[in-house]
């Protein structure tokens, strides 16, 4: 673990925590604003059949959404700093404390905020100097952060996926998204298990309640509900 030192002041860590928390929260709100505004603008460009502009805004939305997700996850680890500050200050690095330090190191690099820089140059400076590069290794990160602090995919499929998620509520005609970008990826088929359930011994006495025509007309989701209530 870390070299023994005279120790660090946990109060300084908690002061840094407040500053970091405020900065990450501000970043998350700003990036969420980018997602919200982009969603509306993207919907307008789709209705104008302007694919290039929609994709340009969609890429910015994708990057902003990734920062929102990473920031929210990072805030969860920052919230745990208070109960671990004393251990960190005494160089007693429990797994929880290591995860917090790893998250803060990643956050410092990912968000480049003044608070995180202050944290790295405060009384924790000696620790971070010797261990920051080690904690930045993916294997040192807690599982939820391994992918969150990785750059988001930037393929057209990734961009279109976030456009579908975020811009759909602002679309009057959803078919325009399909017209511009093509149909969405096909969902896994669910018809077979449902029809098997309908012909199983449990439901055999009820099969004559529905004709084959009914099966075709009733939506699969509704068919599921009907079978579950028998």
* pLDDT tens-digit readout, 49-98: 999 999 999 999 999 998 898 888 888 877 877 777 777 767 677 777 77
- CA 173 from chain center: how many Å? 28
**Closest alpha carbon to 147 in 70, 58, 35:** 70
pLDDT at 32 over 80: yes
Calpha distance 194→127 (Å, rounded): 58
Q: Using an 8 Å Cβ cutoff, are 194 and 223 in contact?
A: yes
Q: In the predicted model, is pLDDT for residue 126 greater than 70?
A: no
129-166 per-position pLDDT tens digit: 555 556 556 666 677 677 666 667 778 999 999 999 99
State residue 206's pLDDT score: 41
- Of 108-112, 142-146, 179-183, 195-199, which one has max mean pLDDT? 179-183
203 vs 72: CA distance, rounded Å: 46
Report how far residue 120's alpha carbon sits from residue 54's, in angstroms, rounded to the nearest whole number. Answer: 39
Tokens 């004393």 — which residue? 86
Per-residue model confidence (pLDDT) at position 14: 73
**Largest interatomic CA distance in the chain:** 81
Which pLDDT belongs to residue 59? 94
What is the pLDDT at residue 217? 44
Cβ pair 67, 149 in contact under 8 A: no
Cα distance between residue 39 and residue 177, in whole Å: 13
Tokens 């669910």 identify what position?
A: 190
CA proximity to 166, closest of 22, 33, 72:
33
C-alpha distance from residue 146 to each of 70, 73, 151, 207 (Å): 10, 11, 11, 49
Residue 3 has pLDDT above 50, yes or no: no
């Amino acid at each position: 673990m870390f070299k023994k030192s005279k120790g660090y002041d946990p109060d300084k860590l908690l002061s840094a925590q407040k500053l970091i928390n405020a900065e990450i929260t501000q970043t998350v709100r700003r990036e969420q604003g980018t997602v919200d505004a982009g969603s509306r603008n993207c919907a307008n460009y789709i209705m104008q059949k302007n694919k290039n502009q929609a994709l340009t805004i969609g890429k910015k939305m994708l990057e902003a959404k990734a920062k929102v997700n990473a920031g929210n996850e990072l805030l969860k680890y920052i919230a745990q700093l208070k109960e671990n500050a004393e251990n960190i200050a005494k160089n007693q690095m429990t797994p929880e404390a290591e995860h917090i330090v790893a998250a803060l190191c990643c956050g410092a690099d990912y968000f480049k905020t003044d608070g995180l820089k202050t944290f790295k140059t405060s009384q924790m400076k000696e620790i971070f100097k010797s261990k920051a590069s080690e904690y930045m290794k993916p294997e040192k990160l807690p599982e939820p952060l391994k992918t969150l602090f990785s750059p988001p995919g930037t393929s057209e499929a990734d961009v279109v996926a976030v456009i579908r998620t975020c811009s759909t509520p602002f679309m009057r005609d959803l078919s325009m998204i399909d017209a511009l970008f093509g149909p969405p990826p096909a969902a896994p088929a669910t018809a077979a298990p449902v029809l098997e359930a309908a012909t199983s011994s449990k439901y055999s006495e009820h099969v004559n309640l529905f004709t084959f025509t009914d099966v075709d007309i009733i939506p699969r989701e509704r068919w599921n509900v009907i079978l579950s209530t028998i």
